[in-house]
Structure 1
Amino acid sequence: MPMIMAQEEGEKYPIHRCIFQGSVKTLSSLIKTYDIAEKDKQGNTPLHLAVMLGRKECVQLLLAHGAPVKVKNLAGWSPLAEAISYGDRQTISSLVRKLKQQTREQMEERRPNLVAALHQMGDFYMELKWDFQSWVPLVSRVLPSDICKIHKSGASIRMDTTLVDFNDMRWERGDISFIFNGDQKPGHSLTVLDNKAKLFQRVRHKETELEIEDEVDILMSSDIMAAQMSTKGITFSRAQTGWIFREDKREMVGAFHADFYQINGMVLESRKRREHLSEEDLQKNKAIMESLTKGSSQSFKNGEPPLRRASLNPPPESNITWDEYIIAPPGQCPLLGRNLVYKESSKSFKATVAMSPDFPLTVDMLLNVLEVITPFKHLSKLRQFVLMKLPPGFPVKIDIPILPTVTAKITFQEFAFRNDIDPELFQVPSDYFEDPMRFPDL
């Protein structure tokens, strides 16, 4: 009976099977007629399997035919995460390049709709206040706050901020302006100004080889991380006020009437793997990581090429057969690569959101604006939150977790449609000099 089940299941996934069996010839004939993005019962795409089993030729063939890289299996891991675990440098580099190319292409596909949506929206000025807070004693004292000032005119947006970025308890202060000109061609539409140093940087459309290889070094030298906000069990209930006579909480947020809701069941799940790292790696890589994350590329020093992280010895060949793999219950994938060294944690958050029926912008409009200005990690967290199914109205005040120990309180404290916004705001001042490496992460 299990043999018949295996045959029936196996016939559903011919591309997965030929990758499992290492048949590049069969793959090259099937690839034209079958969906190479299809997931099997474990949520693995053909690319996942090719990476986990070390089928390098299959990996290259799948990538050449546009197999998606940004996709997760049931265990929550992408092909890139599995490639880092396997440890073949060429495969990791190929996946990083393809991931960046696919991300650019997806953004370019969405771009005409985004620009059209911006043109249809009225011009406005908006202020967004960020207060970062922590339940850890003393940490809140040193956390930053910031007011983002956003001007929108036509298909152009300018955001002024004093918080350049916020990540892993490190942040950079400054006087920064981020300018998007939607009517310009892609390579010239995004510009960042450093107003103190009077420098500007065009956000490039493509990474250099050196930057790709630096990124591969970082990936091979650090934990494989996956963190996500679980929204499955989230519910909203009206926040209450008053000690004896309880009533629904309503307050003014800036100039807007707002109903307050309690967000229940918000959980931040973080997981990490490090089976690809030795104890020696963990010590040695601290120094490498510090130099790379500070933006100092490992470029040619004293005329010598940078010392790159070598491929790992491959894990032992998997002795799992295709039949054994395909009849395994969902979520119980047989081990195909290295033994996992794995740690997971989850933290529940109590949070509130204030929804206003009076706010002149809709959530869809806000998402269009945020899509433009989300190279900043804390803004992309806000975008992820707003994508949730919220109660009616516009979220004028929100608490969202940024890190396991840090939450951000975001307040839309001012908004006005305006038809007098100065077009000069969206130009680079004539006395600014170009520095293509002022913001190495952009």
Structure 2
Amino acid sequence: MADEKNSFELHQSVFNGDVRRVSALIRSYDVGRKDRHGNTPLHLAVMLGHKECIHLLLAHGAPVKVKNANGWSPLAEAISYGDRQTITVLLRKLKQQSREHMEVRRPDLVRALSQMGDFYMELKWDFQSWVPLVSRMLPSDICKIHKKGAAIRLDTTLVDFNDMRWERGDISFLFSGSSKPSHSLTVLDNKLKVYQNIRHEETEAEMEDEVDILMSSDIVAAQMSTKQITFSRAQTGWIFRADKKEMVGKFNADFYYLNGLTIESRKRREHLSEEDLQKNKAIMESFTKGSGTHSFDETVRRASLEPPTNEPVSWETYIEAEAGKPPPLGRMLICKESSKSFKATVAMSEEFPLTVEMLLNVLEVIAPFKHFAKLREFVQMKLPSGFPVKIDIPILPTVSAKITFQEFAFRDDIPDSYFEVPTKYREDPNRFPEL
């Protein structure tokens, strides 16, 4: 234990708010290193409200998209603590780091797409829920994907959805690997004949709006737990049992059951007042009934909360606590946990012409759509042999999707015009505020 205590010098200096010592150590120390509770120095600085340490760590590249042993990021801890300036600084840095990561990946991604054959592919999405009323309202969609060189076009009738809201339409999403980053992602609304380049920078007002939403909403961590997953062959027949094999589209496939797939969801609300909780309940009810949206009044911004008043905790008490069970450093946690098991099947085909690695590269490009990000997360698991031509995946705690790769063909006749914005379309930079 003594060695462990002494090996986290930067953590200890941040914990004690020793800015001079932090400055001396930071250049020769891994700022993303985790202690026995999974906390990075940035986690500690945020939970203890040490602002100078926060700015120093961020200036030296401390990662914001990193979770501790309990699944919380520095941004989640900042929302709990309630200092508006800290939340804003972390949110801005998170977005910057995400952009930088994409730019580092970009040359490899463009190279991988260019080396792949050109193709046309269809994915059918069927959304379903174990909540009866919700299930009746959920959409389905056939996504059409064209790929040529380092360009991808996705046509869909479903823009995106989260919680119980979605937007239907006639939407095309264009990725151009040869364009400069600020113009490489474009969304077309084919009904309104408008397009929007997916921006890399938010305006000041948009950032402030996002901070308001974060400060007045539950802090949510939901993840698909894949640690316990096993696959077993699906069976057919009552008396003479046999492994299930079926055609999916044009492809022979072997069916497997997924055992042990769960979605673990946690909500924190120690930063919310009784008034916030009542407002949020009313907003959610209006969404479930399908009525409208909610916008925040730009002139009235959320004020910072009073700092939490905890009994002081010493570094020794913190670092010697049982791993993953540190004493509370910030606001006392109010957390609701739930776990939902999903019954799921996956159909694997050895005949599908695309490899899983190729699919991952295509999905990385279209990850701004949240349901495609979930599909990518799932496909990254260690699946049985072949290509997943049909799968069930959980999208939200109450919603799952059945995805079928029902059509695929390599094609050398896809016109370049498919990947260009039609001349009749006008630019509308605010058409898709969530992208």
Pairwise TM-score range, normalised by the shorter structure: over 0.9
CA distance in 1, matches of 2:10, 2:294: 41
Q: Secondary structure at the match of 1:419?
A: coil
- For 2:410, the equivalent position in structure 1 comes to 417
Distance in 1, Cα, partners of 2:401 & 2:64: 31
Deviation at 1:137, TM superposition (A): 2.3
Q: Is 1:32 aligned with 2:27?
A: yes
- What is residue 302 of structure 1 aligned with on the other side? none
Q: Give the letter for the 1:131 counterpart.
A: D
Q: Deviations over 1:219-274 (max 9, x none)?
A: 00000000000000000000000111000000000000000000000010000100
Q: Is the 8 A contact 1:53 1:318 kept in 2?
A: no
Q: Is the 8 A contact 2:232 2:256 kept in 1?
A: yes
Q: Is the 8 A contact 2:39 2:68 kept in 1?
A: yes
Distance 1:401 1:103 in 2: 24
Equivalence for 2:263? 268
> What's the CA shift string for 1:78-112, capped at 9, x where partnerless?
00000000000000000000000000000000000
Structure 1 residue 312 and structure 2 residue 305: aligned?
Answer: yes
CA distance in 1 between counterparts of 2:335 and 2:36 reads 22
Q: Using the aligned pairs only, state the percent identity.
A: 73
Distance 2:159 2:70 in 1: 33
Q: Is the 8 A contact 2:283 2:294 kept in 1?
A: no
**Cα separation, 2, equivalents of 1:138 and 1:37:** 44
Query: CA shift at 1:209, angstroms?
Result: 1.3
Residue 11 of structure 2 aligns with which residue? 16
Separation of aligned partners in 2, 1:359 and 1:127: 13
User: 1:14-413 to 2 correspondence within 5 Å?
Assistant: 14-284=9-279, 294=293, 296=295, 298-299=297-298, 306-413=299-406
Deviations 1:293-332 (A, max 9, x none): 9485755xxxxxx211000000015411011111111011
1:1-40 alpha-carbon deviations (Å, 9 max, x no partner)? xxxx4x4332110001111111101101110111111110
Query: 1-side partners of 2:295 and 2:431: how far apart?
Result: 11
Find the aligned partners of 1:214 and 1:141 in 2 and give their Cα distance. Answer: 32
Shift of 1:135: 2.3
Secondary structure of the corresponding residue to residue 245 of structure 1: coil
Instruction: Answer whether contact 2:310 2:331 (CA < 8 A) is retained.
Output: no
Q: Distance in 1 between matches of 2:56 and 2:216?
A: 27
Let me know the Cα RMSD of the aligned residues. 1.6
Q: Contact 1:236/1:391 (CA < 8 Å) preserved in 2?
A: yes
Q: Describe the SS at the equivalent of 2:36.
A: coil
User: In 2, distance between residues paired with 1:92 and 1:49?
Assistant: 14
Aligned-partner residue type, residue 85 of structure 1:
S
Q: What is the SS of the residue equivalent to 1:441?
A: coil
> What letter corresponds to residue 420 of structure 2 in structure 1?
Q
Normalised by the length of structure 1, the TM-score is: 0.95
Q: Secondary structure at the match of 2:54?
A: helix
Question: Hey, what's the Cα distance between the residues in 1 that align with 2:95 and 2:25?
Answer: 26
Q: Secondary structure at the match of 1:324?
A: helix
C-alpha distance after superposition, 1:323-348 (max 9, x if no partner): 11111110111111111111000011
Deviates more, 1:131-140 or 1:432-441: 131-140
CA contact (8 A) 2:229 2:259 kept: yes
Equivalent residue of 1:31, what SS? helix
Q: Do the aligned partners of 1:318 and 1:337 also contact (CA within 8 Å) in 2?
A: no
Shift of 1:177: 0.2
In structure 2, relative to structure 1, the CA distance for the partners of 1:255 and 1:288 (3 Å cut) is closer
The 2-side partners of 1:141 and 1:283 are apart by: 27
Counterpart contact for 1:42–1:332, Cα < 8 Å: yes
2:370, 2:282 → 1: CA distance? 24
C-alpha deviations, 1:158-191, integer Å up to 9, x for none?
Answer: 0000011121121110000000001000001000
Report the Cα distance in structure 2 between the residues aligned to 1:134 and 1:35, rounded to whole angstroms.
44
Give the match for residue 303 of structure 1. Answer: none
What SS does the aligned partner of 1:85 have?
helix
Identify unmatched segments of 5+ residues in structure 2.
Answer: none
Gaps of 5+ in 1: 300-305
C-alpha spacing 1:318/1:39, structure 2 compared with 1 (3 Å): farther
